Amino acid sequence: DTEVTQTPKHLVMGMTNKKSLKCEQHMGHRAMYWYKQKAKKPPELMFVYSYEKLSINESVPSRFSPECPNSSLLNLHLHALQPEDSALYLCASSQVQRTGELFFGEGSRLTVL
Amino acid sequence: DAKTTQPNSMESNEEEPVHLPCNHSTISGTDYIHWYRQLPSQGPEYVIHGLTSNVNNRMASLAIAEDRKSSTLILHRATLRDAAVYYCILRDVVQGAQKLVFGQGTRLTINP
């Protein structure tokens, strides 16, 4: 199984809503990543977890709250978002302490009204 | 984060080789060069990576300059399925996790 599964595929939310994006992998990877991608732009790194601990936060606003409850799951909690936060949110995973590939999911497309 | 420079777009014909260049003049001795590609409506996909020596795999070849300030991704025989945005990335490591910061990439168009 070399898949990273992201749910939901599409999400529409209002600026006062609270929602979550979910990412799951069963490859035994202990590093997991959140990226944000706006249309026709490259993916932007948001957060990196290593052994279920947050190791990188690229100065992301606190309305985005990541969580890694176990080695297979990564969540991104969303609260009080702005319309400019509408984007494709990509999750990825990789082995730790190894040089190798990141496996990406297909993304969750978020629209904030 | 060390930076890479790529042409915005390139065009090639089906069944011909494609050479995608990347400049990374500020590369450090421990930076690995990674290439990913992103097909329309999909997440990025790993292509190849290397440190100093040229590398081959089933998808592509990576030629790295002797001074490591540039590299070239080679698709030996392009197909229509190779039309994508190709990203050249210098990999950093933070607390054991790989930090990949994507640049603007090269949009590759393949003509039938």
Q: How does pLDDT run across A13-71, given as a tens digit for each residue?
A: 999 999 999 999 999 999 999 999 999 999 999 999 999 999 999 999 999 999 999 99
**Residue of B55, B95, B104 for testing the chain A interface, max A β-carbons within 10 Å:** B95
In order of A59, A60, A69, the CA distances from B35 in angstroms are 25, 25, 30
Provide the 10 A C-beta neighbour count for residue A104: 23
Inter-residue contact B35 to B86 (CB < 8 Å): yes
What integer is the mean pLDDT of B44-54? 94
Instruction: Give the SS3 label for residue B41.
Output: coil
In order of A9, B35, B68, B103, the CA distances from B26 in angstroms are 38, 17, 9, 14
What integer is the mean pLDDT of A4-8? 97
Distance (Å) from the C-alpha of residue B97 to the closest C-alpha of chain A?
A: 5
Question: What's the pLDDT band for A1 if we cut at 50, 70, 90?
Answer: low
Inter-residue contact A37 to A44 (CB < 8 Å): yes
State which residue of chain B sits closest to A47, comparing Cα positions. B99
The answer to whether the Cβ–Cβ distance between A56 and B101 falls below 8 Å is: no
Can you give the pLDDT at residue A100? 74
Question: What's the pLDDT band for B41 if we cut at 50, 70, 90?
Answer: confident
Reading the block at residue B103, the tokens are 């640049």
Note if the bond before A8 is cis, omega within 30 degrees. yes
Reading the block at residue B97, the tokens are 């996790």
Residues forming beta bridges with residue B54, ordered by sequence position: none
The answer to whether the Cβ–Cβ distance between B97 and A33 falls below 8 Å is: yes
The separation between the first and the last C-alpha atoms of chain A, rounded to the nearest angstrom, is: 36
Chain A positions touching B96 (Cβ under 8 A) are 31, 50-51, 55, 96-97
